[in-house]
Structure 1
Amino acid sequence: MSTHTGPLAGIRVIDITLTVMGPYCTQILADLGADVIKVEAEAGDTSRHVLPARSAALGGMFVNMNRGKRSIVLDLKRDAGKAALQRLVESADVFVHTLRPQAIERLGFSYDALRAISPRLIYANLYGFGRNGPYAAFPAYDDVIQAAIGLAMLQANLQDGTPSYVATALADKVTGLHGVYAILAALFARERGAGGQELEIPMFETMVSFLLTEHIAGAVFDPPLSAPVYPRMVSRQRRPYPTRDGYLAVLVYNDGQWLRFFEAIGHPAWSRDARFASMSSRSAHIDALYEHLAVTLAERDTAEWLVLLRQADIPVMALATTQDLFDDPHLDAVGFWQRLDTADGPVRFPGPPVHFSATPSAIRRSAPALDEHGVAILREIGFSDAEIDKIRSRGPNPGGKS
């Protein structure tokens, strides 16, 4: 288990993160071969306790997001716990936390404090809002960010005018992915001689950038040519289309696809309709176009449409549930699902989705039990058994606040 072969083999990551955003970021680093040491308080990461679970403090969501990591419990409010973390930092390449700026400062583990210990350290702040703005001290979770960036209001356009959240922790995961690429870029820059550095990956700013990729539309110009909304994305007609016996997802986009699509569905004359003849005109009349699609697709069964539209090379899929993914023939053929036998019983993971020909990523172990590797990690970084007993003691805090 200690022989890592991924592209990050030999990189050590200190992970002081909770819930989804930070653990997802460091999960990817672990899959890529990094030795990720998850530093937890005595109660453990809060997501440990999100059900369902086979055993206490090993809920399914936690098990997936913390696979491949090692766990150590340190009380960072005590001198001995602080000293242990400082020693860990000396051995580390990357430090990742999800505390608000004022909280990490109070603990004594700001970038300036840790840079004095390890100048080569890549230090990543993942939190709600950039520390130089008026929102810096606000707590933030995924739903709050979806609301603050305008996403919940965009969703209102698709329904009855009621705002709603996307049914996944989108802000957490997108920000976690930005954390991954920022850390990798900083490690690359360090290899080129730039040394260590501090990274700031705030959810709010990250998600505003992400959302406005296409929705900025005409607002990219000054003065604006339109509201910052991409009309196709908020059309109420943009939805899974009912067929005669189910639903179908069809996305016809460019000119060639539309020509083939109109032929395939038996309406070639639509390509000569001024409203639908070009990308610009289709964009201006997207609701009318999608209404035509909805009426037409309701005339045949799902299986018939899949054959017909795939013959025309049109992007199309039948609707699936999350349960369907576990029996998906494509995922099975590419070896997507990975199974491990653990002390807690067999587990099944969605495997790393990217592949490396020379340095393959892998899931090397399941998620750790709380403090499963604590003693071993402390020994690795040179603490004696007597010192370890002191670090792990729950008694008074000599020389400091208890």
Structure 2
Amino acid sequence: MKHPLSGYRVIDTTAMVSGPLATMQLADQGAEVLKIERPGVGDYTRLASNRRHGFSASYLNNNRNKRSVALDLKQADGLAALERLCENADVFVQNFRPGVAERMGIGEQAIRAVAPHIIYVSISGFGDAGPYAGYPVYDPLVQALSSLASIQGGADTARPRLVRTIVPDKLTGYVAAQAITAALLARERGAPGQHVRVSMLDAVIDFLWHSDMNSQTFVGDEFDQARAASFIDLIYETTTGHISVAVQSDKEWQALIRALDTPEWNQDPRFATPADRQDNIDARLALTQQKLATASAEHWLERLAEYGVPCAPVLTRSDLLEHEQIAANAIIVENEHPQAGRLRQARPAARFSAMPDTDYAGAPALGADTAAVLAEHGYDTQAIERLVEQGAAAVAAPHEDTQ
């Protein structure tokens, strides 16, 4: 039985996180992804910290199920080899700054000359136009420009704060993967091969608008959010650790009152209606914290669940590995990598009822598949050896550690 994207070939010239994550989604769903890397260097995440046997965790976690082809695109023969790989490819993905791909000879026009119907994908930081288009981009800069940092701070007047995970990078990867499959579907239905453009800035602003931009929605009636709804997180201390409790409906509010044995809250005018409870959120959350601080996390989680109050423990990264909910859904999987050893990773989030589980192939060593892929595209042994000798291509020795 085939995977959803079996039979599609993707040429991946991306590096770091946004592009590699996008193409890994496609690879996990069955696409053949050829990761094009510079000989001797490769994806910069190969050099990240937390390494074993030459492989970094960052590289492994964003390049599963791909094949690595090491080509020097600054050499004419290396560029020609890439063009040959593109001839029977369905998708080409790059995440260089606007204009760089064109200068390298791998812009849309050049690739479409050898593959007229290809889906050409450009992932950028700040978009193709405007004064920031050519700027170097890192995740914190997008958090700043998109207003995500301000939102994370709470009120417009509060000190902005970064989200402590690279939301723009990862979100952009997921948006790009979905857009690629949409473009492939459109092509199956008769549309031409398209140029799909996704910027990190676009992805984050779109993401935020669905819940955090209500104050800017009504044209002519915008307002500054000078006051945060609350500076108190929905994380509560107990005598043995932290838990999260969140209630929205009247039914859940009444369930919380019963679980905490605080009937007097029903007589407090500050909490009479949902609007009152929102207007007096700090007082409500402070009282909840005061009550939860009197007993253990285990006690409260059991009692809150008994009364139907939405709640969960706050897990550390280590706790997550052993939690029964994660185990019951088999979210974390372990597999053997031929060089890096046994790995623990999250399985693909989307599961397909009529498709087999993904066969996990660990992220490849730099150039591990160069010879095989070139041979599949018409290069004989002598031609491959010549490319390697002149430095236009590179191959990895069996079980070679990346540097």
TM-score by length of 1: 0.91
**Range that drifts further, 92-101 or 112-121:** 112-121
Spell out the pairing of 1:223-238 with structure 2 (5 A cutoff): 223-227=220-224, 231-232=228-229, 235-238=230-233
Contact persistence 1:20–1:173 (CA under 8 A) = yes
Structure 1 residue 46 and structure 2 residue 44: aligned?
A: yes
Q: 1:137 to 1:274 in 2, by over 3 A?
A: same
Q: 1:269 to 1:192 in 2, by over 3 A?
A: farther
Secondary structure in 1 matching 2:312: strand
Secondary structure in 1 matching 2:59: helix
- Aligned partner of 1:266 in structure 2 is 261
Q: 1:137 to 1:293 in 2, by over 3 A?
A: same
Q: Choose from 281, 287, 309 the match for 1:292.
A: 287
> What's the C-alpha RMSD, in Å, of the aligned pairs?
2.2
Spell out the pairing of 1:27-106 with structure 2 (5 A cutoff): 27-42=24-39, 43-56=41-54, 58-106=55-103
Secondary structure in 1 matching 2:371: helix
Displacement of 1:363 in angstroms is 4.1
Structure 1 stretches of 5 or more lacking a match?
Answer: 398-402
- Aligned partner of 1:141 in structure 2 is 138
Distance 1:264 1:202 in 2: 46
Q: Choose from 337, 343, 354 the match for 2:350.
A: 354
**Range that drifts further, 178-187 or 378-387:** 378-387
Displacement of 1:278 in angstroms is 2.9
Secondary structure in 2 matching 1:62: helix
Distance 1:254 1:23 in 2: 41
User: 1:68-101 deviations in whole A, cap 9, x for unaligned?
Assistant: 1100101111111111111111111111111011
Secondary structure in 2 matching 1:214: coil
- Aligned partner of 2:313 in structure 1 is 318
Q: 1:337 to 1:64 in 2, by over 3 A?
A: same
Q: Choose from 4, 7, 15 the match for 1:7.
A: 4
- Aligned partner of 2:175 in structure 1 is 178
- Aligned partner of 2:378 in structure 1 is 382
Contact persistence 1:31–1:361 (CA under 8 A) = no
Q: Choose from 162, 165, 177 the match for 1:165.
A: 162
Secondary structure in 1 matching 2:334: strand
Contact persistence 1:37–1:70 (CA under 8 A) = yes
Structure 1 residue 330 and structure 2 residue 328: aligned?
A: no
Secondary structure in 2 matching 1:364: coil
Contact persistence 1:216–1:230 (CA under 8 A) = no
Structure 2 stretches of 5 or more lacking a match?
Answer: 394-403
- Aligned partner of 1:368 in structure 2 is 364
- Aligned partner of 2:397 in structure 1 is none
Displacement of 1:392 in angstroms is 2.6
Distance 2:34 2:355 in 1: 21
Contact persistence 1:338–1:349 (CA under 8 A) = yes
User: 1:127-155 deviations in whole A, cap 9, x for unaligned?
Assistant: 10111222110111111111222222333
Contact persistence 1:123–1:199 (CA under 8 A) = yes
TM-score by length of 2: 0.91
Contact persistence 1:24–1:66 (CA under 8 A) = yes
Displacement of 1:112 in angstroms is 2.2
Contact persistence 1:216–1:229 (CA under 8 A) = no
Distance 2:221 2:85 in 1: 51
Contact persistence 1:36–1:70 (CA under 8 A) = yes
Distance 2:372 2:227 in 1: 53
- Aligned partner of 2:119 in structure 1 is 122
User: 1:357-382 deviations in whole A, cap 9, x for unaligned?
Assistant: 11235143101000000000001111
Displacement of 1:29 in angstroms is 0.9
| Structure 2 residue identity aligned to 1:327 | E
Distance 2:226 2:332 in 1: 37
Displacement of 1:298 in angstroms is 1.2
Q: 1:143 to 1:272 in 2, by over 3 A?
A: same
User: 1:265-320 deviations in whole A, cap 9, x for unaligned?
Assistant: 12234245443233333222222222222112112211111011111222211111
Contact persistence 1:217–1:227 (CA under 8 A) = no
Distance 1:133 1:185 in 2: 27
Secondary structure in 1 matching 2:321: helix
Q: 1:17 to 1:361 in 2, by over 3 A?
A: farther
- Aligned partner of 1:151 in structure 2 is 148
Q: 1:326 to 1:269 in 2, by over 3 A?
A: same
Report the identity percentage. 36
Distance 1:329 1:321 in 2: 14
- Aligned partner of 1:204 in structure 2 is 201
Structure 1 residue 342 and structure 2 residue 337: aligned?
A: yes
Q: 1:240 to 1:197 in 2, by over 3 A?
A: same
